[in-house]
Structures are given as C-alpha cells and as structure tokens.
Homo-oligomer: A and B are copies of this chain.
Amino acid sequence: MRKVVLHAPGDVRVEDVERPTIVEPTDAVIRLAATCICGSDLWPYRGADEVPQPQPMGHEYCGVVEEIGADVRTLEVGQFVVGSFFASDGTCEICLSGYQTGCVHRQPGAPTGAQAEYARIPLADGTLVATPGQPDADLIPSLLAASDVLGTGWFGSVAAEAGPGKTVAVVGDGAVGLCAVLAARQLGAERVILFSRHADRQALGREFGATDIVEERGEEGVAKVKEMTGGLGAHSVVEAVGTHESMHQAIGSTRAGGHVGFVGVLHDVAITGDDIFTTHVHLHGGPAPVRRFLPDLIRLIWDRTIDPGKVFDLTLPIEQAAEGYRAMDERRATKVLLTL
C-alpha cells in the first residue's frame, strides 16, 4: 500500500509498504476513504521538531473497517468509521467524564500513520464511531474534518462556553479556527468575531457563521473587540494558534468572568498571576477530546446541517503529498486533502 513517510525536514516521500495488521486483540485495521495534512505536520516538516528517523505521517482518518481483533465487540468489518488522533479505552473515569484525550490508556490514534491507504487503530471499541451507513462521496471531506480540525474547533468553542446570547471571538483563521466559528454558531452564539487578515479565510469564516471580522492583532485587536462589546470584551474566546501572543490576545479579548477555550498547541506560552487573577477569566483547553463530540458531529454532517469539509482548499492524489506539504508550508493552502 502507499504511505507518506517523512525522512528528514522537507523530505516527504510516498512509499510502497506492507499493510498494517492487527497487533493487539483490541485493534482494528481500516481502509481509509481519504486522508489529509495537518498544520501540526508542518512542525517536523519545517525541522522545528526533530526527525531522528523516517516517520510515518498523519493522524486524521475515516474509512471502512477491514479487520478487527478478537476482543473488538462493538464494530464489524465493513462499517464506515471515524476516529481521532488519540486512541482511548472509553471505559476509564476520565473517558467517561468526556476527556478521552486524557484516557489513562491513551495512545496515538493511528500509530502506523494515517496518510496511508490502511491504518491500524488501537482500542478500536473506545476510539472509533460508526456512521449510520456508507457515506456519499461528497460527505467524505467533512467526515475527515470531524476527525481533528472540526472536533478541535468544536472543543474550543465548548471550552469557551459559546452559547445563546454570547459574543464569541476566535483567534486564528486556520482550519481549526474556522471550525470553531462554525461550532460557535451551531452552539447558538449570537455574534461571532473572527480575527483574520486573509480574504479567502474571512469569506469561509462568514460562510461558517462569523458576523464580524477583525483584522487588527495583539493590543490593537483586543482594543477593537472591547470597542465592539461596550468596553467589556467577548464572553467567550477561542484560541486556535498556540503562541504566547495569540494566547494573550485571547485573554485580553475576554470580559471579566468570561471563558477562554484554547486548542492551539501551546508553544513557549507564559501566563502570570496578573493575567488570570484580576481579569477573572476562565482558562480551559488542551488536546481536544474529539471522541466526545464525534456522535453529534457525524449526525450534523450526515444530515447536511454543517459542511466543515470546506476547509479543504486543495485536493491532491496521495502521490503528490510532497506538493501538499509545500502548499501548506508556503500558505498557498489552508488544508490539503489527499485522495487514495
């Protein structure tokens, strides 16, 4: 089968390798319907994360169950499933409380790599969610988005307590930020402000439900949101970047007693007592427990209520994965879908 392997920063290759097989009796092997490149894949691609040896890439996936281990109880061969970037047992106290990405048996969701024709998924019963049937082809991009960027943006909006009557601001106009806009609107937010300087992302943000766009950043961006909210700030702010500056833009844009939901992987962020004490903000986030939301997200996609697949603005065959990485690295694409 074909599989994307990163040999060194910038060196993406598509190789022909053996299909993965069942290792643990709780595993499943799935045949992917499509796969994609994540913003976080750019860290090793750019050399910001080390690449000590060739590594399989990708952690977003949906597809058909090809094989199941002897202990898999809830899935059948032939079902169409969606999973996420962490595998979880679904039975521990942390999973039951809705934090599957904090599962006591947490492990990578697709350890063999998901930019491939087939992938092994551990803890299949706890990790995979079956769709109501075989999806129409046009639903595949959205189901794939549910696997990470939609689930992550959704968690950001839930963590920020987006809801009816609320003004929600979203820091970050990448695929996750755009999905947070979509989530905020679905959760009933009255007003959704997207920080964005890119016309194409602004347009998709508006399509997903943004009511206002703010082009300013940092202190100027904060001042703009305050001005738009009677001097108070937004009730809910989603942080979908992960830098020190974006986190502080998020905290600064939040009103006293408001909520910051952060889902950008935090890099070199420092928060002091002053940032969180007199400001009365709530802080909550981390690796999104996408599994918590998958049943609802699949239903919304199946019913064609939402179309998060629109975040894919470039589709390439997997053979051209290297060009996909280049396009995202050079910001020519927001998110790349790879067909198999």
- A residues neighboring B (CB under 8 Å): 93-94, 97-99, 101-102, 104, 230-232, 242, 247, 255-257, 262, 265-274, 276-287
Contacts and interface: CB of A to CB of B under 8 A. Distances in A.
Contact of A282 (B231, B274, B284): B284
Contact of A273 (B93, B99, B257, B268): B268
Contacts of A269: 272-273
B278 A285 contact: no
Identical copies of this chain, number = 2
Contacts of A281: 284
A247 B275 CA distance: 14
A268 B285 CA distance: 23
Contacts of A102: 255-257, 278, 280
A277 B287 CA distance: 7
Contacts of A268: 273
B286 A277 contact: yes
Contacts of A285: 276-277, 280
A270 B267 contact: no
Nearest to A229: B93
Nearest to A268: B273
A256 B287 contact: no
Given A247-B273, A276-B285, 8 more contacts: A102-B280, A262-B277, A265-B273, A268-B273, A270-B271, A277-B286, A278-B286, A280-B285
Contacts of A256: 94, 99, 102
Sorted from nearest, which 7 A-B pairs have the closest CB atoms? A266-B273, A102-B256, A99-B257, A269-B273, A271-B271, A283-B283, A282-B284
B232 A94 contact: yes
B279 A286 contact: yes
B230 A280 contact: no
Contacts of A274: 266
A278 B276 CA distance: 19
B287 A257 contact: no
